[in-house]
A and B are shown apart, each in its own frame.
Chain A
Amino acid sequence: MIFSLAIYAAPYSSQASDSAYRFALALLENGHTLYRVFFYQDGVHTASSLSTPPQDDIHFTQNWQTLAKKHNIDLVVCIAAALKRGLLNQQEATRYDKPAFNLAEGFEISGLGQLVDAAVMSDRLITFGG
């Protein structure tokens, strides 16, 4: 079965963020496909390359990067939600004349159309947070 996840929850603030990751692991272990993870609302903070948790805490950004690389998963961050929260890729930083960008490798910034596409192309779309 083809799954996609929509993550609204900020990392560390609620259990939903970790549940989403664990759900992704479980579905992949059971032979399903993860088509896309769409980060919306405060979920966009998951994609910050500056995220620096203490060593004994979960590193969500790294976890998703590793998983995405291994299973070829699309990690998409909503552009409107990201930009207003200060999460930018190099292109957007240049466009808005900002001194830095902080989108972690393996994530891409795109529009809400990618959420609709995920809903259309997947058998199941599961929402975490909100």
Chain B
Amino acid sequence: MNKAPAKKLLFISRHAPYGSSLAKDALDAVLASSAYDQQLSLLFMDDGVFQLLSNQSSTEIAQKSFSSILPVLPLYEINSIYVHYESLEKRQITINELVLDSVQIIDSAAICSLLAQQDQLLSF
């Protein structure tokens, strides 16, 4: 890893858990990145918001549950976690169904400025 000033990296996770490996691979990438002293944020939008549902019983399909993986994010000092409000609303998911309680729910307009502040977007 070359020395360079910290950059703002936003990971955008837009796919449902389990159906494809994208959601899991996004998390792996976020967790791996936490070791490199960059300013990391994570945004869940579109079907990606399904990852946040609590009480997922994925053991029946031999997969690790997102509702048990996601709570480790703060332990990796990933505290800037955003969830797209309109994506939740469209899927009739309410805030108290989410497994993380420290997320920031932001609307489309706020996402525009969030994206504009970043140095790089990593899209999953």
B68: Cβ under 8 A from any A Cβ: no
Whether the pair A120, B2 counts as a contact (CB closer than 8 A) is yes
Give CA–CA (A13, B92) in the complex, Å.
Answer: 34
Query: Across the two chains, which residue of chain A brings its CB closest to B2?
Result: A121
List, in ascending order, chain A residues with CB within 8 A of B120's CB: 119-120, 122, 124-125
A-B contact count (CB 8 A): 60
Give the distance to chain B from A84, nearest Cβ to Cβ, in Å.
10
Query: Across the two chains, which residue of chain B brings its CB closest to A124?
Result: B120
Whether the pair B33, A112 counts as a contact (CB closer than 8 A) is yes
B29: Cβ under 8 A from any A Cβ: yes
Give the distance to chain A from B84, nearest Cβ to Cβ, in Å.
18
- Residue among A6, A116, A125 with the highest chain B CB neighbour number at 10 A: A116
Whether the pair B123, A120 counts as a contact (CB closer than 8 A) is no
B109: Cβ under 8 A from any A Cβ: no
Contacting residues of chain B (95-123) with chain A, CB-CB under 8 angstroms: 119-123
Residue in B4, B15, B21, B35 whose CB lies within 8 Å of A121: B4
> Range of interface residues on chain B?
20 to 34
Q: How many residues of A contact B (CB 8 A)?
A: 20
List, in ascending order, chain B residues with CB within 8 A of A130's CB: 15, 22, 123-124
Whether the pair B7, A120 counts as a contact (CB closer than 8 A) is yes
Q: Mark B22-42, 1 if CB is under 8 A from A, else 0.
A: 100100110011011010000
List, in ascending order, chain A residues with CB within 8 A of B15's CB: 130
Give the distance to chain A from B97, nearest Cβ to Cβ, in Å.
26
Whether the pair A116, B32 counts as a contact (CB closer than 8 A) is yes
A51: Cβ under 8 A from any B Cβ: no
Whether the pair B25, A41 counts as a contact (CB closer than 8 A) is yes
Residue in B21, B25, B28, B122 whose CB lies within 8 Å of A125: B122
Whether the pair A113, B36 counts as a contact (CB closer than 8 A) is yes
B16: Cβ under 8 A from any A Cβ: no
Give CA–CA (A41, B15) in the complex, Å.
Answer: 14
Residues of B bordering A, CB below 8 Å: 1-2, 4, 7, 9, 15, 21-22, 25, 28-29, 32-33, 35-36, 38, 119-124
Given A113-B36, A120-B2, 7 other A-B residues pairs in contact with their CB atoms under 8 A: A41-B21, A41-B22, A112-B28, A115-B32, A117-B36, A125-B121, A125-B122
